[in-house]
Chain A
Amino acid sequence: MSADLRVVIVGGQHVGYHAARHLSERGHDVVIIEKDRARVEFLSEQYDATIIQGDGGRRAILRQAGLDRSDVIAALTGYGAMTNIGICTMATKIDSDIGTVARIGHGERDEYAGLVDQVVYPEMLAARAATNEIMHVAGRGVQTVESVTGDLSLLELTVAEDAPAADRELRDVVFPKGAVVVAGRDNNQLPGPDMVLEPGYRYLVAVKANVSDEVVQLFRG
């Protein structure tokens, strides 16, 4: 077995392409199947994946992606859950060992969850990203981004003008045990001891539930 995954992605539009890029950045091998000629042109310029031009719903095209050597197939087309589930089903007919991921739409999780190994509903994530952004510009300052494991969650905190931690370097701020800044300045900067907590910018902080009040107080005053 290979140390890197080999992933076949059906559908090279926004979601499929960006997923391919992330995977390729992590060193995985990616094959994209995309129908649209112009999009194929764009994808091949990015040089992240081998591109198969054709309809991923056709068995002959799927076969060309080398499913027998692949670990996962992800059907991420925008043509609706049925298309994506169908592609995954056909893929398991060709190679029964392959893992399957299908993109679905609103409220379809329960309906399709058993048919493939995983389902994704990308618009929901996009909506959450939009919601966080809206709340940020509305000056809310604190967002729960994700609960990670158990009582650990990730907060997105905007540093307030007169907060205790404002304009301080990370090394000078005494954080409670169980709180870690994981990224800074609107998530553009890697954290380091000399990172300054600038007012108006957002910082991502992993916090345990019992200290989150304290952390919010440091950032928001």
Chain B
Amino acid sequence: MTGDRDVIIAGGGRVGFAAAELLADRGHDITIIERDEQVIESIADKWVATLITGDATDPALIEQAGIESADVVAALTGEAGLNLAVCLAASELSPDIRTVARIDSETGDSYTRFVDGIVFPERAGARVAVNEISGSDVTTLSDVPGPLEIMHIRVAEGAPAAGKQLSEVRFPAGSVVVSDDGGSQIARSDTELIPGNQYFVAVEPNVADEVMNLLRG
């Protein structure tokens, strides 16, 4: 599938606007609906998107944004309830449109029944903060969806699992070493965990500490 997409973004705040910029950079057509005049003012100069001032739940406004020809509507305001309302209204007006809602907690599963995609921005933001805090030896891939953590971990000298083959190490349930150094090889049972090398590990959050203990000491 190729071609540019027509995307309506409800909410031109920090997340909404930055997403608009990224999408515009990739050549997609963006329309932003934003309620706050001041915000409109500040983003108008950037020339990244068509701007519409007003309430994104208002059907008239959504129609103005060109809902019939749009491929996706992404409600990225700071209020989850409002975002859901925007998506529902949009689907009502144009049944084929795909919807994305920003949610504000990890109880987002209940929303997936009503929208096609959910965004949980704090998770990505928090992951990058964690990366900066814990240094370069352990990196969590920051903008993957879903609850699994994909970590890129450097095996520390003297850690319990250092120098061991994967078959010798019992990782806790909910974790898997998926690739060896640099991701060039699929991890096998005889893959050796060489100190100083980095490995991809998929981890459920509740066992992250055990995995860290094994690989980092």
A residues contacting the other copy or chain, number (CB 8 A): 75
A126 touches B141 (CB 8 A): no
Interface string of A137-170 (1 = CB under 8 A from B): 1111100011011101010100000000000000
Say yes or no: is B81 at the interface (Cβ < 8 Å to chain A): no
Contact status A22-B127, CB under 8 Å = yes
Q: How many chain B residues have a CB neighbour from A under 8 Å?
A: 76
CB distance from B121 to the nearest CB of A (A): 3
Known contacts: A137-B72, A137-B100, A188-B146. The answer to whether A19 contacts B130 by CB under 8 A is yes
Give chain A residues whose Cβ lies under 8 Å from the Cβ of B143. Answer: 125, 128-129, 132, 145-146
- Pick from A3, A18, A141, A208: contact of B183, CB under 8 Å: A208
Which of these, B128, B150, B206, contacts A182 with CB under 8 Å? Answer: B150
Nearest CB of chain A from residue B4's CB, rounded to whole Å = 10
| Complex Cα gap A178–B124 (Å) | 26
Asked if B7 and A129 sit within 8 Å, CB to CB, the answer is no
B23 contacts chain A at the CB level, 8 A cutoff: yes
Binding site of A, secondary structure by majority: helix, strand, loop or mixed?
mixed
Stretch in contact with the other chain, from A32-40, A56-64, A89-97, A99-107: A99-107
User: How many Å from the CB of A23 to the closest CB on chain B?
Assistant: 6
Pick the 10 closest A-B CB pairs, nearest first.
A122-B125, A187-B146, A126-B121, A18-B126, A127-B18, A27-B209, A14-B122, A206-B183, A125-B124, A123-B14
Which residues on A are within 8 Å of B, measured CB to CB? 3, 5, 7, 14-19, 21-23, 25-28, 72, 74, 76, 99, 101, 103, 105-106, 118-141, 145-146, 148-150, 152, 154, 156, 175, 177-178, 180-183, 186-192, 202, 204, 206-208
B binding-site residues for A, Cβ under 8 Å:
1, 5, 7, 14-19, 21-23, 71-72, 74, 76, 98-100, 102, 104, 116-130, 132-134, 138-150, 152, 174-176, 178-179, 182-187, 198, 200, 202, 204-206, 208-209, 212-213, 216-217
